[in-house]
Structure formats: C-alpha cells, structure tokens
Amino acid sequence: MYVVTSEFDEALDEYPDEYEVFVVSGARQLSSVSDWKSVEPLTKTILGKVRVSAVHFDMSHRKFVYDDFLSGLLK
C-alpha cells in the first residue's frame, strides 16, 4: 500500500507542489484500513516525492488513486 501526503507549510502559507510518497508495511489487506488512524502506527518507508499535478484521484477524490505517478518519483 502507498500513502501520498503533503503538510501545510506555515512559512509559505500554502501547500507544497509535491507529495511525499511512502510504502506502508504491515497492512494485511487494503480492506483492513478504515481511516488514517489505522495507517499511522504502521511502518512507512519513503520512496520519494512526486509533483501534485502527476497524481490523479478517482472522481470522488476519496476511494483510490491511479498508480501511474509511481514512475515519476523524484528521489
């Protein structure tokens, strides 16, 4: 499972142009992940960063993300 995240930058007063991308270990099945709190304690390894514009979510913006952005990771 992958997690993409970006935290608000108080100094810039905006979000960065890139997401950090992590692979998450310890989730037995994606269906076992009900919310962020169930992912938070799991082991995460950073893979790199990707431009926000390269990440495409489903129409609801909540259920899944297309994984084609993985080929464009910035290390």
In which order are the strands placed within the sheet that holds 2-5?
Answer: 2-5, 18-25, 43-51
45: number of Cβ within 10 Å? 9
Burial classification of residue 16, based on how many CB atoms lie within 10 Å of its CB (0-12 exposed, 13-18 middle, 19 or more buried): middle
Tell me the pLDDT band of 8, cut-offs 50, 70 and 90: very high
> What local confidence, expressed as pLDDT, does residue 31 receive?
56
Average pLDDT over residues 57-75: 77
> What local confidence, expressed as pLDDT, does residue 30 receive?
56
Quote the pTM value: 0.70
| pLDDT tens column, 13-62 | 999 999 989 888 766 655 556 666 767 777 888 899 999 888 888 887 66
